[in-house]
Amino acid sequence: MSILVFVEIAEGQIKKTSLEAVAYAHAMGGPVTAIALGAADQSALASLGKYGAQKVLHAADEKLNKEVIQAYASVLTKALQDEGADILVLASSSLGTPVAARVATKIGASLATNVTELPDTTAGFVVKRSIYTGKAFAKVTLSNTKKVIALKKNAAEAKEVGSDVAVTPYSVTLSDADFATKILSSEKATGEVLLPEANIVVSGGRGMKGAEHWGILEELAKTLHAATGCSKPVSDMGWRPHHEHVGQTGVKVAPQLYIAVGISGAIQHLAGVNSSKYIVVINKDADAPFFKAADYGIVGDAFDVVPKLTEALKAAK
Protein backbone atom coordinates (compact mmCIF):
# COMPACT_ATOMS: atom_id res chain seq x y z
CA MET A 1 0.00 0.00 0.00
CA SER A 2 1.96 2.97 -1.31
CA ILE A 3 0.65 6.43 -0.36
CA LEU A 4 1.13 9.82 -2.01
CA VAL A 5 0.52 12.95 0.10
CA PHE A 6 -0.14 16.34 -1.47
CA VAL A 7 1.27 19.09 0.77
CA GLU A 8 -0.03 22.64 0.51
CA ILE A 9 2.33 25.61 0.60
CA ALA A 10 1.72 29.10 2.01
CA GLU A 11 4.42 31.75 1.68
CA GLY A 12 6.93 29.01 0.85
CA GLN A 13 6.17 27.07 4.04
CA ILE A 14 4.17 23.88 4.56
CA LYS A 15 0.72 24.27 6.09
CA LYS A 16 0.11 22.55 9.43
CA THR A 17 -2.83 20.65 7.94
CA SER A 18 -0.45 19.09 5.41
CA LEU A 19 1.94 18.02 8.15
CA GLU A 20 -1.06 16.29 9.72
CA ALA A 21 -1.77 14.59 6.37
CA VAL A 22 1.80 13.25 6.19
CA ALA A 23 1.61 11.98 9.79
CA TYR A 24 -1.76 10.36 9.02
CA ALA A 25 -0.36 8.59 5.95
CA HIS A 26 2.62 7.35 7.97
CA ALA A 27 0.25 5.97 10.63
CA MET A 28 -1.57 4.03 7.89
CA GLY A 29 1.57 1.94 7.52
CA GLY A 30 2.46 2.23 3.85
CA PRO A 31 5.55 3.86 2.35
CA VAL A 32 4.81 7.58 2.10
CA THR A 33 5.84 9.94 -0.70
CA ALA A 34 5.06 13.64 -0.24
CA ILE A 35 4.75 16.06 -3.14
CA ALA A 36 4.73 19.86 -3.18
CA LEU A 37 3.83 22.06 -6.14
CA GLY A 38 5.19 25.52 -6.88
CA ALA A 39 7.69 27.63 -4.95
CA ALA A 40 8.62 26.16 -1.58
CA ASP A 41 11.41 26.38 0.97
CA GLN A 42 13.72 23.41 0.48
CA SER A 43 14.50 22.96 4.18
CA ALA A 44 10.79 22.91 4.95
CA LEU A 45 10.26 20.22 2.32
CA ALA A 46 13.15 18.16 3.69
CA SER A 47 11.58 18.34 7.16
CA LEU A 48 8.60 16.32 5.89
CA GLY A 49 10.76 13.29 6.61
CA LYS A 50 10.40 14.06 10.31
CA TYR A 51 6.65 13.47 10.02
CA GLY A 52 6.86 10.15 8.19
CA ALA A 53 7.64 10.82 4.51
CA GLN A 54 10.25 8.46 3.08
CA LYS A 55 10.49 10.51 -0.12
CA VAL A 56 9.73 14.12 -1.05
CA LEU A 57 9.03 15.29 -4.59
CA HIS A 58 9.02 18.94 -5.62
CA ALA A 59 7.40 20.13 -8.86
CA ALA A 60 8.86 23.63 -8.92
CA ASP A 61 7.48 24.81 -12.27
CA GLU A 62 6.62 28.48 -11.72
CA LYS A 63 3.28 27.95 -13.48
CA LEU A 64 2.26 25.98 -10.39
CA ASN A 65 2.72 28.98 -8.11
CA LYS A 66 -0.89 29.83 -8.85
CA GLU A 67 -3.25 27.25 -7.39
CA VAL A 68 -5.07 26.18 -10.56
CA ILE A 69 -7.08 23.10 -9.65
CA GLN A 70 -6.95 21.45 -13.09
CA ALA A 71 -3.16 21.75 -13.25
CA TYR A 72 -2.68 20.47 -9.71
CA ALA A 73 -4.93 17.49 -10.42
CA SER A 74 -2.96 16.63 -13.57
CA VAL A 75 0.36 16.69 -11.71
CA LEU A 76 -0.95 14.57 -8.84
CA THR A 77 -2.52 12.06 -11.22
CA LYS A 78 0.83 11.65 -13.00
CA ALA A 79 2.71 11.38 -9.69
CA LEU A 80 0.36 8.64 -8.46
CA GLN A 81 1.13 6.69 -11.60
CA ASP A 82 4.89 7.29 -11.47
CA GLU A 83 5.12 6.31 -7.80
CA GLY A 84 2.81 3.33 -8.12
CA ALA A 85 0.64 4.73 -5.33
CA ASP A 86 -2.92 3.51 -4.77
CA ILE A 87 -3.88 6.16 -2.19
CA LEU A 88 -3.77 9.96 -2.25
CA VAL A 89 -3.98 11.74 1.10
CA LEU A 90 -4.40 15.51 1.43
CA ALA A 91 -6.04 18.07 3.67
CA SER A 92 -9.71 19.00 3.38
CA SER A 93 -9.41 22.67 2.47
CA SER A 94 -10.52 25.24 -0.07
CA LEU A 95 -7.77 23.90 -2.34
CA GLY A 96 -7.44 20.29 -1.24
CA THR A 97 -11.11 19.30 -1.47
CA PRO A 98 -11.69 20.32 -5.12
CA VAL A 99 -8.31 18.89 -6.12
CA ALA A 100 -9.25 15.62 -4.42
CA ALA A 101 -12.54 15.45 -6.32
CA ARG A 102 -10.89 16.08 -9.68
CA VAL A 103 -8.13 13.51 -9.08
CA ALA A 104 -10.68 10.91 -7.97
CA THR A 105 -12.61 11.47 -11.20
CA LYS A 106 -9.48 11.21 -13.32
CA ILE A 107 -8.32 7.89 -11.85
CA GLY A 108 -11.71 6.33 -10.98
CA ALA A 109 -10.99 6.36 -7.25
CA SER A 110 -13.22 6.15 -4.20
CA LEU A 111 -13.30 9.54 -2.46
CA ALA A 112 -13.88 10.52 1.17
CA THR A 113 -13.60 14.08 2.52
CA ASN A 114 -13.51 15.40 6.10
CA VAL A 115 -12.04 12.10 7.29
CA THR A 116 -11.47 12.07 11.06
CA GLU A 117 -9.79 8.73 11.86
CA LEU A 118 -7.46 6.12 10.45
CA PRO A 119 -9.19 3.60 8.17
CA ASP A 120 -10.55 0.37 9.57
CA THR A 121 -9.24 -2.44 7.36
CA THR A 122 -10.56 -5.40 9.35
CA ALA A 123 -13.36 -5.89 6.82
CA GLY A 124 -12.65 -3.87 3.72
CA PHE A 125 -11.49 -0.23 3.87
CA VAL A 126 -13.80 1.88 6.04
CA VAL A 127 -13.23 5.53 6.95
CA LYS A 128 -15.07 7.76 9.41
CA ARG A 129 -15.96 11.22 8.15
CA SER A 130 -17.57 14.30 9.62
CA ILE A 131 -20.92 15.31 8.09
CA TYR A 132 -23.64 17.94 8.61
CA THR A 133 -21.06 20.61 9.58
CA GLY A 134 -19.65 18.40 12.30
CA LYS A 135 -22.95 17.45 13.91
CA ALA A 136 -22.69 13.76 12.93
CA PHE A 137 -20.33 11.12 11.56
CA ALA A 138 -20.65 8.60 8.76
CA LYS A 139 -18.68 5.41 8.15
CA VAL A 140 -17.96 4.96 4.46
CA THR A 141 -16.49 1.95 2.65
CA LEU A 142 -13.99 2.84 -0.07
CA SER A 143 -14.30 -0.13 -2.40
CA ASN A 144 -12.19 0.90 -5.41
CA THR A 145 -8.52 -0.05 -5.61
CA LYS A 146 -7.59 3.62 -5.95
CA LYS A 147 -8.57 5.85 -3.03
CA VAL A 148 -8.49 9.57 -2.27
CA ILE A 149 -8.70 10.67 1.37
CA ALA A 150 -9.14 14.33 2.36
CA LEU A 151 -8.35 14.72 6.04
CA LYS A 152 -10.24 17.04 8.41
CA LYS A 153 -8.13 19.55 10.33
CA ASN A 154 -6.82 18.25 13.69
CA ALA A 155 -7.80 14.67 12.80
CA ALA A 156 -4.16 13.60 13.13
CA GLU A 157 -1.31 14.73 15.35
CA ALA A 158 1.63 16.18 13.45
CA LYS A 159 4.29 14.49 15.56
CA GLU A 160 7.89 13.86 14.59
CA VAL A 161 8.83 10.24 13.92
CA GLY A 162 11.96 10.51 11.76
CA SER A 163 14.50 12.90 10.27
CA ASP A 164 14.98 15.10 7.21
CA VAL A 165 14.99 13.45 3.78
CA ALA A 166 16.38 14.51 0.43
CA VAL A 167 14.11 16.52 -1.86
CA THR A 168 13.83 15.14 -5.40
CA PRO A 169 12.93 17.51 -8.27
CA TYR A 170 9.83 16.33 -10.13
CA SER A 171 9.51 17.52 -13.71
CA VAL A 172 6.06 17.87 -15.23
CA THR A 173 4.63 18.57 -18.66
CA LEU A 174 1.67 20.90 -18.50
CA SER A 175 -0.72 21.60 -21.37
CA ASP A 176 -2.85 24.65 -22.15
CA ALA A 177 -5.87 22.61 -21.08
CA ASP A 178 -4.46 22.44 -17.56
CA PHE A 179 -4.72 26.22 -17.39
CA ALA A 180 -8.11 26.68 -19.03
CA THR A 181 -9.07 28.48 -15.84
CA LYS A 182 -7.11 31.69 -15.28
CA ILE A 183 -6.56 33.24 -11.85
CA LEU A 184 -6.56 36.97 -12.53
CA SER A 185 -6.00 38.10 -8.96
CA SER A 186 -6.15 36.85 -5.40
CA GLU A 187 -6.56 38.54 -2.03
CA LYS A 188 -4.83 36.99 0.94
CA ALA A 189 -6.10 37.39 4.48
CA THR A 190 -3.60 39.24 6.65
CA GLY A 191 -2.66 39.00 10.30
CA GLU A 192 -0.08 37.43 12.58
CA VAL A 193 -2.11 34.20 12.74
CA LEU A 194 -4.60 33.24 10.02
CA LEU A 195 -7.95 31.66 10.87
CA PRO A 196 -7.68 28.39 8.88
CA GLU A 197 -4.33 27.55 10.50
CA ALA A 198 -4.96 28.85 14.03
CA ASN A 199 -4.88 26.62 17.10
CA ILE A 200 -6.61 29.34 19.13
CA VAL A 201 -9.27 31.78 17.90
CA VAL A 202 -10.61 34.83 19.74
CA SER A 203 -13.89 35.91 18.18
CA GLY A 204 -16.23 38.84 18.88
CA GLY A 205 -19.87 39.61 18.20
CA ARG A 206 -22.33 42.48 18.43
CA GLY A 207 -21.81 42.54 22.18
CA MET A 208 -18.56 44.40 21.50
CA LYS A 209 -20.75 47.43 20.55
CA GLY A 210 -18.46 48.76 17.81
CA ALA A 211 -15.21 48.46 15.87
CA GLU A 212 -13.53 50.94 18.22
CA HIS A 213 -13.73 48.43 21.08
CA TRP A 214 -11.90 45.59 19.34
CA GLY A 215 -8.56 46.45 20.92
CA ILE A 216 -9.22 44.33 24.00
CA LEU A 217 -9.86 41.27 21.83
CA GLU A 218 -6.75 41.92 19.75
CA GLU A 219 -4.69 42.19 22.91
CA LEU A 220 -6.10 38.90 24.21
CA ALA A 221 -5.39 37.26 20.84
CA LYS A 222 -1.84 38.60 20.81
CA THR A 223 -1.23 37.26 24.33
CA LEU A 224 -2.47 33.80 23.28
CA HIS A 225 -0.83 33.93 19.83
CA ALA A 226 -4.33 33.47 18.45
CA ALA A 227 -6.22 34.48 15.33
CA THR A 228 -9.12 36.93 15.53
CA GLY A 229 -12.59 36.18 14.18
CA CYS A 230 -16.07 37.61 14.31
CA SER A 231 -19.74 36.81 13.80
CA LYS A 232 -21.55 37.52 10.52
CA PRO A 233 -23.40 40.63 11.75
CA VAL A 234 -20.06 42.16 12.77
CA SER A 235 -18.54 41.72 9.31
CA ASP A 236 -21.78 42.84 7.64
CA MET A 237 -21.68 46.10 9.62
CA GLY A 238 -18.06 46.65 8.61
CA TRP A 239 -16.65 46.44 12.12
CA ARG A 240 -14.24 43.70 11.00
CA PRO A 241 -13.05 42.45 7.57
CA HIS A 242 -15.10 39.74 5.88
CA HIS A 243 -12.22 37.24 5.94
CA GLU A 244 -12.65 37.12 9.74
CA HIS A 245 -16.30 36.05 9.50
CA VAL A 246 -16.60 32.67 11.22
CA GLY A 247 -19.67 30.54 10.57
CA GLN A 248 -21.56 28.35 8.13
CA THR A 249 -21.32 30.96 5.36
CA GLY A 250 -17.88 32.18 6.40
CA VAL A 251 -14.70 30.47 7.57
CA LYS A 252 -15.21 27.14 9.31
CA VAL A 253 -12.62 26.63 12.03
CA ALA A 254 -11.49 23.70 14.16
CA PRO A 255 -8.99 25.12 16.66
CA GLN A 256 -7.93 23.61 19.94
CA LEU A 257 -9.57 26.58 21.70
CA TYR A 258 -12.34 28.93 20.50
CA ILE A 259 -13.14 31.95 22.66
CA ALA A 260 -16.44 33.64 21.81
CA VAL A 261 -16.94 37.11 23.27
CA GLY A 262 -20.29 38.86 23.02
CA ILE A 263 -21.67 36.33 20.52
CA SER A 264 -25.17 35.01 21.18
CA GLY A 265 -24.59 31.70 19.37
CA ALA A 266 -26.88 31.62 16.34
CA ILE A 267 -27.02 28.22 14.66
CA GLN A 268 -25.18 29.55 11.59
CA HIS A 269 -22.24 30.59 13.76
CA LEU A 270 -22.22 27.35 15.73
CA ALA A 271 -22.04 25.38 12.48
CA GLY A 272 -18.70 27.01 11.75
CA VAL A 273 -17.09 26.38 15.15
CA ASN A 274 -18.55 23.16 16.56
CA SER A 275 -15.46 21.16 15.55
CA SER A 276 -13.39 23.16 18.04
CA LYS A 277 -11.89 21.01 20.78
CA TYR A 278 -12.79 23.47 23.54
CA ILE A 279 -15.22 26.41 23.43
CA VAL A 280 -15.18 29.23 25.97
CA VAL A 281 -18.06 31.73 25.95
CA ILE A 282 -18.00 35.18 27.57
CA ASN A 283 -21.39 36.91 27.58
CA LYS A 284 -23.32 39.07 30.02
CA ASP A 285 -26.57 37.34 29.00
CA ALA A 286 -26.80 34.15 31.05
CA ASP A 287 -29.45 32.84 28.64
CA ALA A 288 -27.32 33.21 25.50
CA PRO A 289 -27.70 30.03 23.40
CA PHE A 290 -23.92 29.74 23.02
CA PHE A 291 -23.58 28.63 26.64
CA LYS A 292 -25.31 25.34 25.72
CA ALA A 293 -22.45 24.53 23.32
CA ALA A 294 -19.68 25.82 25.59
CA ASP A 295 -17.20 23.72 27.54
CA TYR A 296 -16.61 26.71 29.82
CA GLY A 297 -18.65 29.88 30.26
CA ILE A 298 -18.24 33.23 31.97
CA VAL A 299 -21.34 35.34 32.62
CA GLY A 300 -20.11 38.91 32.75
CA ASP A 301 -19.44 42.14 30.86
CA ALA A 302 -16.79 41.56 28.19
CA PHE A 303 -15.29 45.00 28.86
CA ASP A 304 -14.60 43.90 32.42
CA VAL A 305 -13.81 40.20 31.92
CA VAL A 306 -11.53 40.29 28.85
CA PRO A 307 -8.93 42.78 30.17
CA LYS A 308 -8.71 40.88 33.46
CA LEU A 309 -8.32 37.60 31.59
CA THR A 310 -5.55 39.08 29.45
CA GLU A 311 -3.67 40.41 32.46
CA ALA A 312 -3.98 37.05 34.23
CA LEU A 313 -2.58 35.27 31.16
CA LYS A 314 0.33 37.70 30.96
CA ALA A 315 1.08 37.17 34.63
CA ALA A 316 0.94 33.39 34.20
CA LYS A 317 3.52 33.60 31.38
pTM exceeds 0.75 for this model? yes
Q: What is the reported pLDDT for 184?
A: 77
Residue 94, annotated ligand binder? no
Q: What pLDDT, on a 0 to 100 scale, did the predictor assign at position 11? A: 82
Type of residue found at 250: G
Q: What is the pLDDT of residue 300?
A: 96
- Asked if pLDDT for residue 169 goes beyond 90, the answer is yes
**78-116 tens-digit pLDDT:** 999 999 999 999 999 989 999 999 999 999 999 999 999
206 known member of a binding site: yes
The answer on pLDDT for 280 being more than 80 is: yes
262 a known binding residue?
yes
* Model confidence at 218: pLDDT above 80: yes
pLDDT at 189 over 70: no
> How far is CA 306 from each of CA 64, 196, 225, 276, 279, rounded to the nearest angstrom?
44, 24, 15, 20, 15
**Predicted pLDDT of residue 275:** 85
Ramachandran region, residue 132 (left: φ > 0; alpha: ψ -120 to 50; beta: rest)? left
Mean pLDDT score of the chain, rounded to an integer? 93
Please check if 129 is assigned to a binding site: no
269 is in an annotated binding site: yes
274 is in an annotated binding site: no
Domains of the chain: 3-179 (3.40.50.620), 195-316 (3.40.50.1220)
| Ligand-binding site membership of 268 (annotated) | yes
Tell me what the mean pLDDT of segment 184-206 comes to: 79
Whether the pLDDT of residue 188 is over 70: the answer is no
Q: Is residue 149 exposed (0-12), middle (13-18) or buried (19+ Cβ within 10 Å)?
A: buried
Residue 141 confidence (pLDDT): 97
| Contact of 264 with 309, CB cutoff 8 Å | no
With CA atoms as reference, report the closest residue to 32 among 75, 113, 88: 88
Q: What is the pLDDT of residue 191?
A: 58
- Is 266 among the annotated ligand-binding positions? yes
Q: What is the pLDDT of residue 4?
A: 98
- DSSP-based three-state secondary structure for 63: helix
